[in-house]
Each structure stands twice: as structure tokens, then as C-alpha cells.
Chains A and B, each alone.
Chain A
Amino acid sequence: MTLRFLSGGLTGGRLVMLALLLASAILVPLLNLALPESHPLHVPTYAVTLMGKYLTYALLALALDLVWGYCGILSLGHAAFFALGGYAMGMYLMRQIGSRGVYGDPVLPDFMVFLNWDELPWYWYGFDAFSFAMLVALVAPAILAFVFGWFAFRSRVTGVYLSIITQAMTYALLLAFFRNDMGFGGNNGLTDFKDILGFDIQSDATRAGLFAASALALAAGLVLAVAITASKLGKVLIAVRDAESRTRFLGYRVEHYKLFVWTVSAMMAGLAGALYVPQVGIINPGEFAPANSIEAVIWVAVGGRGTLVGPIIGAVLVNFAKSWFTAALPEFWLFALGGLFVFVTLFLPTGIVGLARTATQRLRRMRKSEPDARNTGGSVTTEPRGQAAE
């Protein structure tokens, strides 16, 4: 079924990216676990975890690209979906600690004992089961996205207004999760995890496994995104992005399309958050910060929005740079990031992938036009144009 959609969209760079992800899901754990540390090809565990973290960021970026690149919805609130997924996973991991916490309570997480709570709040029920927690990691962001989107898209809040209220949404959640009586660990969040599915969360094998899971999740996300964007629905989304009211006059319920892609995107972000938390070992309200959402937007912009592969490249590149800067020149990181925002919007509006596409197409045209010099058609770029026209 899926393969049928893919025939149109899974070409070139996307195929390469998919192959790369699948290969790394196998190779990286192998190079980490099977080779001795002295071997030149050995991948140290910290690097595996770091790359695993980048891949979850890449999944978040891919989710953003689906709404921003293809439907023109610039979300400054995707951190909310990411963090909700993360909290669902965090709650599962907290329940796995059992009586190994500081206070040794068999059921209650440490922070609840500390707050003198007598019993588990009802919304913590079921999180001892991994499958339930994973379900919530997908469903909770989906519900938030659906409710928020249902109101916003139906009343035709668009453009920067939508961006601003998505930011307000994640900000409100940030404040809410800071509250101790929300029952999510307040300021400190959830941490001190011990194991996941019975495996020690600190062990090399678990870390390698989480990396492989992240790579596979990202690959699945890419396939899903390709399937959506290559379908007729994907063409409607682009139509909405480029000429919303025209699409409406063709008889499409624009709000339904936005709601669909918005909710799917939120679920992808939730999954990314759920994979992120066990690898970094903590989830706290800071993940809801509006600044996080905006930072994710720049990953998409750097890689090239509306390209699906671009955001993955962008997320990995920018975060690699961030890791390097914060270790080597910590005080310069914000200068670099700020400069990147300015540079990309001014000089690289189509991102790295867009630039590469334009370059290859120009090259191809030059070759083609040698025998046929008259063939000088219009623009060949496929990047979004005239977005602001709406």
C-alpha cells in the first residue's frame, strides 16, 4: 500500500538518506559493541548517545518541515509536542525505578514522596506498561494538536498570528509543568532513570539499542512524510501553502487538511521526544521553552524546508555545531546561532538542500542547452515561492 505512494516521492536524496539511516541503525551499534575500544573504527558510547540525540532532533525537524515546508504553518510550539512525548516516556521510566529511589517507595516516584503525596495521581496509572506509555507519547501530543488546531484553523488564524499563539501555547505549558502540584516533578522534572524494558539505561548495549531505535523511527518518519507529501493530499497541502483561498474556492476544506498534517506532525514530534528522554536521562519543563521550538525551526531552515531530507541534515549539522561550540567556545554559541538565523533567512532561503538542487538543475540545464541554446525556460527551482502573497 505504502509502496505505491512512494513510487513518486522516494527518489534521489531521499533514497540515499533512507539507506543511510537503515545502514547506521545496524552499523553504529555494531561498531560500538563488537569492536574493542582500541580499534580505530570503534565508536565510543558517548558518541552513539550523542548521535542518537541528534536523530531525535532530526525527527522533530522532519515533523516541523511537514507543517512549515509543505503547509506554510510556522509552528513556534513544536517543543510542546516533543516535551509531551518526552514526559510520557519519562513517566514510564520513573515507574520502572520502583523501590530503587532515594526514598525506596515501591510505587511513588521520589518527588511525590518528597511532596508528602499518599498515592499515585490517577493520570500516572498505566505508565508502568511500556506499550501504554508509548501510546500516550503519540496520543497526548495528537490530542493537544487536534484541539488547538481545531480551534485555530477553523477560525482561520494564519501566518504570524498562528506562530505567536503556538508560542503562547508552549509557554503556557512551560508554566504549567513548572508547578509542583501538576504532578510531573515540577522544576526538576523527571530523572534518575534506572532501566528501560528491563535493560540498564546506562549500559552500552541499551544506548546502542536506543540509537538504532531512533534511526529506525526517523527512517519510518521519513517514509511516512514522503508518502504524505507525494500523495494528492500532499499536493493539496502545497496548494494551501501557496494560495490558501484559491484552494478553498476549489472546494477543499482547508482546515481539515491543516488539522490532519498538524496532528500527524505533532505525533512525530511526540515520538521524537519519547526517544530523546532515555538518551539524555532527564525531562524537565525547560523542554517546553519557546526558544527550543524556534531553534528547531532554524534546523529546518538551514537544511531546506519543503525538502524532507534537508531538515534531517540541518538538525544534525546545527546540533553538531552546538556541541562543538558549547565545548570549545561556549560564549560564542549564541552569536553563531543568532548569526545563523540571520544568514539563512537573508542568503540561504532554500537551505542547503535547496541550494544543492538549484545548482544541480542549473548544471543539467547548462549541459542540455549546449546542443539547444534556445531552451531557456523560466525558473526551475521547486522551493516555495510567493508564500507571503496569501
Chain B
Amino acid sequence: MAKAETLLYLDGVSVSFDGFKALNNLSFLIGRNEMRAIIGPNGAGKTTMMDVITGKTRPDEGELRFDGKIDLTAHDEAEIAGFGIGRKFQKPTVFENQSVRDNLMLALKALRGPFATLFHRDDDAERSRIDTLLATIRLTARRDDLAGDLSHGQKQWLEIGMLLAQDPELLLIDEPAAGMTDAETAATADLLREISKTHSVVVVEHDMAFVRALGVKVTVLHEGSVLAEGSLDHVSNDRRVIDVYLGR
């Protein structure tokens, strides 16, 4: 496999909390501009995997590389975000006391230092970028409302919008469809497919209909390591996957 095409590379990553192995020798690759769905039962290590990639949790052992050369284990959350890895949390986390517009403004790709932000002034380019994002996530009408006043689904969208505003190379998205109506879920799938044309995306999801709508390669996690990998049809016929997860 051509290494240049690999954006994210995990090899033999293990994490344990007080003896409990959250990740156990986990290895997989994400290619550039690839979208991947990750499924697995509760406690399979999905969120811990995201924590490890984004620098929130340090792995006990294993190799974690981004874009070929960057060793992710040596950096903290802010630096990793700076390399171009964006993350959406399972529970939508937006800045509730600030307007939708300000939420996007804070996420926009720009210098991140305190003095840069102290002397920051918004310009036309920034305003039009925010307008575009607002249109993408369908929140133009609510731009001046507090993010805390949005519905659950709208918050999910706003968080995805913030992710886009960062313009990362890799998006890690944890349960984007949770709490959404069917129509919203379908629209979210469309949005993610659109995003994946120019970005690498990792989606963690429980909703099988949603995963099917994404139509991408699926990785099944179980007890902290990869159980199966392939198309959704392929993995859902895998004996072991059925035993531990789909459970029929």
C-alpha cells in the first residue's frame, strides 16, 4: 500500500484504565479523503480511540501517525487540532452562551494565540465564509441566537459546521445522528458524503440505517481491537460480528 495515501495510521495502540483494557492492540489505517464508519457495542473503545487520536488520552503503547510523519502521541489537544484533526463529541458540545455566528467564528481557521485574538478584527472574507457555513448547516436564520437555544439536532449541525470552519484534513465524528429526526438523519448523511469528497472522515455510529446511507467501508470494534472490516454487508454477515454485536 502506498504510504503517502495514508492519512491516519494506528499500529498496536493499547490503553488501560486501572487494569481495564479500553484499547487492546488496535491497528487500522484511514486513507486521504476516505470516509470510514466505525461501529461496535458499548465499551468497544470507540470513544477512547477518538480520545487517543485527539491527544486527550495518552496510549500506553503503540504508534499513532498523522500525515505520514507527525507522531500524535507527542502532542496535546490544541496542537493536534492545529495539525488538522477536528472532532465532534458524542454529546453535542457547543458554546451555549454565545451566538451561532460567534460559535462558527471561534472555530474558523485563524491564528490561535491570545494576542492574535485580542487584536483580531473580522473582515469581509471571514464574514462571507461564515455565511457560507451557515447556509451549509441550515442555520442562517438563527445566526444571532444563542447556541444554547438551538434544538438538539441543530446543535449537532452547528458542531459539524464548527468542524468544517476549522477546515481540518481529518474529521472525527461521534454519533452525528443521535437525537435527530429521520429527515435530519438523511440530510446529515448527505452532508457527510459531501464533506468526504474533500476531507477524510471517521464516523462512529450506532444507527445502522445511517451507516447504510453513508455507504462506506465499516470497521467493527470489539473489546478495544478490530473485529472485522469491509462493506456493511460483508461485516454484517461475519459470524463473530453477529455474535458480539448484531446478536441475532
Contact = CB atoms under 8 A, between A and B. Distances in A.
Let me know if chains A and B touch directly in the complex, using CB atoms closer than 8 Å.
yes
Interface of A: 4, 228, 231-233, 235-236, 238-239, 242-243, 245-254, 256-257, 260, 377-379, 382-386
Task: Count chain A CB atoms within 10 A of each CB in B77, B96, B97, B119 and give the residue with the most.
Answer: B97
Q: Chain B interface residue count: which class?
A: 20 to 34
A256 B115 CA distance: 10
Contact of B78 (A231, A238, A243, A254): A254
A344 B21 CA distance: 46
Given A246-B89, A249-B54, A385-B97, A232 B81 contact: no
A4 B121 contact: yes
B93 A257 contact: no
* Of A232, A242, A243, most B-chain CB atoms within 10 Å: A232
Interface stretch (B1-9, B141-149, B239-247): B141-149
B114 A250 contact: no
B120 interface: yes
Contacts of B77: 245, 248-249
Interface stretch (B12-20, B104-112, B199-207, B220-228): B104-112
Contact of A246 (B76, B93, B112, B121): B93
B149 A250 contact: no
Contacts of A251: 78, 81-82, 112, 166
Identify the 8 closest CB pairs spanning chains A and B, nearest first: A251-B81, A378-B149, A232-B120, A233-B117, A248-B77, A232-B117, A233-B118, A260-B114
B146 A250 contact: no
Contacts of B82: 251
Contact of B114 (A238, A248, A257): A257
Given A4-B121, A249-B81, A242 B149 contact: no
Contacts of B134: none
B95 interface: yes
Interface of B: 54, 56, 76-78, 81-82, 86-87, 89, 93-98, 102, 105-107, 112-114, 117-121, 145-146, 148-149, 162, 166
B97 A384 contact: yes
Given A232-B105, A239-B95, A257-B114, A252 B149 contact: no
Nearest to A378: B149
Contacts of B98: 235, 238-239, 242
Given A239-B95, A257-B114, A233 B148 contact: no
B22 to A, nearest CB: 18
A250 B166 contact: yes
Contacts of A236: 106, 114, 117
A292 B17 CA distance: 41
Contacts, number: 93
B105 A249 contact: no
Name the residue among A4, A249, A377, A382 with the largest chain B CB count within 10 angstroms. Answer: A249
B97 A238 contact: yes
A239 B106 contact: yes
In this complex, which of A238, A254, A382 has the most chain B Cβ atoms within 10 angstroms of its Cβ? A238
Given A249-B86, A250-B162, A252-B78, A233 B95 contact: no
Nearest to B114: A260
A245 B56 contact: yes
B78 A253 contact: yes
A251 B145 CA distance: 24
A242 B93 CA distance: 10
A9 to B, nearest CB: 13
Contacts of A228: 118
A163 B112 CA distance: 27
A249 B80 CA distance: 8
Q: Which of A252, A377, A378 has the most CB of B within 10 A?
A: A252
Contacts of B162: 250
23 contacts: A4-B121, A231-B117, A231-B118, A232-B118, A233-B118, A235-B102, A235-B117, A238-B95, A239-B95, A239-B106, A243-B93, A247-B106, A248-B76, A249-B77, A249-B87, A251-B82, A251-B166, A252-B112, A378-B148, A378-B149, A384-B97, A385-B96, A385-B97
Nearest to B95: A239
Contacts of A254: 78
Counting chain B CB atoms within 10 Å of each CB, the highest count among A238, A253, A254, A378 belongs to A253
A249 to B, nearest CB: 5
B84 to A, nearest CB: 9
Given A251-B112, A253-B112, A254-B78, A385 B148 contact: yes
A273 to B, nearest CB: 25
Contacts of B93: 243, 245-246
B145 A377 contact: yes
A243 B114 contact: no
A377 B149 contact: yes
A250 B98 CA distance: 15
Contacts of A249: 54, 77, 81, 86-87
